[in-house]
Amino acid sequence: MKTNNFLLRPEDDMDFLPIIPLNEGDQEDLNGIEVPDELALLPLRNTVLFPGVVLPITVGRDKSIKAVNDAYKGDKLVGVVAQKDSNVEDPGVNDLEQTGTVAKIVKMIKMPDGGTTIIIQGKSRFRINAITSEDPYFRAKIDKLEEEEAPKDENFLAYVANIKDLAADIVQLSPNIPAEASIILRNIESPAFLIHFVSSNLNTEIKEKQKLLELNNIRERADLLMQLLQKELQFAELKNKVTNKTRTELDKQQREYFLQQQLKSIKEELGGDTNAQEIKEMMKKAEAKKWPAAAKDLFKKGVEKLERMHPSTPDYSVVYNHLDLMLELPWEDYTQDHYDLKKAKETLDHDHYGMHKIKERILEYLAVLKLKGDMKSPILCFVGPPGIGKTSLGKSIAAAIGRKYVRLSLGGLHDESEIRGHRKTYIGAMPGRILQSLRKVKSSNPVMILDEIDKVGSDHRGDPSSALLEVLDPEQNHTFYDNYLELEYDLSKVLFIATANNLQNIQPALRDRLEIIDLSGYAVEEKIEIAKRHLLPRQREMHGLKNTNFRISDKVLEKIIQDYTRESGVRELDRQLASIMRYQAKELALHDKVKASVSSDDVETILGKPRYSNDLYKTANMAGVAVGLAWTYVGGDILFIETSLSDGKGELRLTGNLGNVMKESASTALTYLQSNAKKYKLDAKLFERKNIHIHVPEGAVPKDGPSAGITMMTAIASALTGKRVKPFLAMTGEITLRGQVLPVGGIKEKVLAAKRAGLREIILCWQNEKDVQEIESEFIRGIRFHYVKTMNQVLELALEEK
């Protein structure tokens, strides 16, 4: 039923306070009223007046006001008819319904705004016979329609009772209908008035109400009314069910909506909606972005999703951060390479001394780029001991070819998500380190250093080295997939340079993808040049001595290198030079002057007594002691093999934290000497009566590998024969039971270690001669090499005659 059932019914749909209609018992007989043949007509919009019903009407049209005033002055009767179309402002004759209700103007009120409000009560139905006048208002000849007596049978009374019940149910289900309605319904006794009252307040179309008014038979009218009430009751029940079901959710949504609207108003007062501003700025950036079609489509979908979300929702920041990453990635932004090979060579030579093999490889790459214009970047891997400049060389390469430089430290990396990124649905999700680095440098073709690739770990969280397989494969990395980005990204233009200390720790599949370039340790001569060109100028500047004149001669630098450092690189040398600079800075601050040059005595004053001495190899010249050469991940080193005989049952004892391969080399050496005792004039019974103890000093340091084979055999032979090993002699090589000498690796590091230790002769396998030839001749000046094939040759060279 209508929500304004008991409100004033204005001619122009205005709402007023409720009014209760007159009780039907107090009304005069509606059929007995004297109705004239001709009446002034009052057209109403959206309203049908029924006999007995009281309605307040606001009259607004000039014609209607004139008609009401004239009627009020006379018999106060007026013919009320409904308009066929409520949208017609100035109705004509054809716009009026033919059946209406004679109404008595009960009260007329003049409003302050000049309008007129009347309270009318329907008296009797009529039909228009003819329109007699249209000006100044409609007048018509009418025929009064007599009302039937209400039947007294039980069937009709059941109709009436049913109408009351249906109307009461509708009132109860409709919260907007006033409570007075059910009270009025219970107190209506006249069936005709009940039908008219309920029909008047029925929430249905005007055409249906007009049809009710036009029906002469009261039983038919009651039947149609009951059908309309049933329809409205079903609608009210459905509406009530839906309302109750969604009320809680709607209340919450309405509360959030009102709060959001208040927040929006506050933001607008403070300077506009930040959300809209952010999205606008994003779209502006996207217009100028160079990126693939797939990225463009994904960004567009993301922005559409963002526009539908409120900034306070949790997913908003996830979507926003994802779009922000897409905007900041340098999809198709590349820096221009410098193809000037001479200038590139000058840059590389200026930044690093030596390293000719790497420099040649970079220049070859640039030459191909210059000729072809496009090329898949190689995946280089610099392998060598610490402190020789592998990482800084990558920075120098970037400067030489005019690319941006970014370094990615892989040491201790355990989670593959660091490479591939996390799914963005996780809390705290981030893109992988590869894309983060590209985002930082704003270029898709930088030089990217993958530092310490041999120290990547693996555990239950994944294997990062397996994730690197895709990154470092030129056939795959043009479609690198990051879990956070959820798109393929082209890494084929990135120049990857990996660095490692130990090649054995790199996963075989990953090692297969790398172009390995070995970097050896520096010779003393190279270290002197590096110190003069790079280390000293940098330390002077760092200690505020750039404009202070004092010099350090090559001889003094050589003393520092040989007496205070034992390394393949130059980090320890750099620290020792820093100590000298600090001493010089202190002298300058105290006395306002420094000595013109730093002498050898000054070095001992500043750094203390020498830490390392080559005299060790002179004093260790006794039977049973031989000097071997070892390779470690920090470069080459000197290894003493000590052998001692004692009375016993011919047992072999090994100490010095030796690995299995080294123990097997000792057993092989002893077996070889036992089987060739006569050849070397050894007493065979000696092997049964004497225990042989082999010890390798620095027992805390693990040692392993086959390269000490000939050194162990020489030491055992020296102990058994009593002949001493020649002084200043070192050796390295693997042995077999047949007495053959096999080649070993790490020759450059071992030879440079021997040179640093002041050794003069080295015994090597003849197959290692090619490795020695790769070392620059000035670095090994003063060392004599002996290339051998058999153990017999080794013993002839190594042992002194008694």
Give the residue numbers marked as catalytic.
707, 750
Q: In whole angstroms, give the CA distance from residue 298 to residue 319.
A: 11
Distance of alpha carbon 725 from alpha carbon 712, whole angstroms: 12
Find how far residue 2's CA is from the centre of its chain.
57
**Residue reference for tokens 């390479």:** 337
Closest CA to 430 of 379, 484, 466: 484
Which residue, 48, 99, 372, is CA-closest to 228? 48
Residues 6+ apart with CB under 8 A from 150: 156, 190, 191, 192, 218
Backbone CA torsion sign across 660, 663, 664, 665: positive
Helix 180-187 to helix 154-173 angle (10° resolution) is: 170
Q: What are all long-range contacts of 340-345, with beta carbons under 8 Å and residues at least 24 apart? A: 341/366, 341/367, 341/370, 343/400, 344/400, 344/401, 345/400
Q: For residue 688, what are its two tokens? A: 């049964």
Could you tell me which residues are beta bridge partners of residue 481?
A: 488
Q: What sign results for the dihedral spanned by CA atoms 126, 131, 132, 133?
A: positive
Residue reference for tokens 């409100």 = 7
Tally of CA atoms within 13 A in the half-sphere of 400 that contains its CB:
29
The amino acid sitting at 505 is N
Helices (H) and strands (E) in the chain, counts: 28, 24
Give yes or no for a contact between 406 and 441, defined as CB atoms under 8 angstroms apart: yes
Q: Is the dihedral angle over the CA atoms 79, 83, 87, 88 positive or is it negative?
A: negative
Q: How far is CA 190 from CA 120, 160, 164, 723, in A?
A: 20, 10, 12, 145
Exposure string for 520-555, b = 16+ CB within 10 A, e = fewer: bbbbebbbbebbeebbbeebbeebebeeeebebeee
Considering only CA atoms, which of 79, 157, 69, 181 is closest in space to residue 118? 69
Of 545, 603, 558, 557, the closest CA to residue 579 belongs to 603
Q: How far is CA 780 from the centre of its chain?
A: 54
Helices assigned H by DSSP within 127-217: 154-173, 180-187, 191-200, 206-214
Q: Long-range contacts of range 213-216, CB-CB < 8 Å, 24 or more positions apart?
A: 213/48, 213/50, 213/99, 213/100, 213/101, 213/125, 214/99, 216/145, 216/148
The single residue listed with the structure tokens 């039907």 is 24
Closest CA to 539 of 562, 560, 523, 563: 560
Residue type, position 314, single letter? P
Contacts of 802 (CB under 8 A, 6+ apart): 722, 723
Tell me how far apart the alpha carbons of residues 280 and 534 are, in angstroms, rounded to a whole number.
51
Are 97 and 81 a contacting pair, CB within 8 Å?
yes
Which value, to the nearest 10 degrees, does the dihedral of the CA atoms of residues 101, 103, 108, 109 take? -30
A 10 A CB-CB count for 566 gives 18
665, with CB counted inside 10 A (0-12, 13-18, 19+), is buried
Backbone angles phi, psi at 487, to 5 degrees: -150, 160
| Cβ–Cβ < 8 Å for 137, 67 | yes
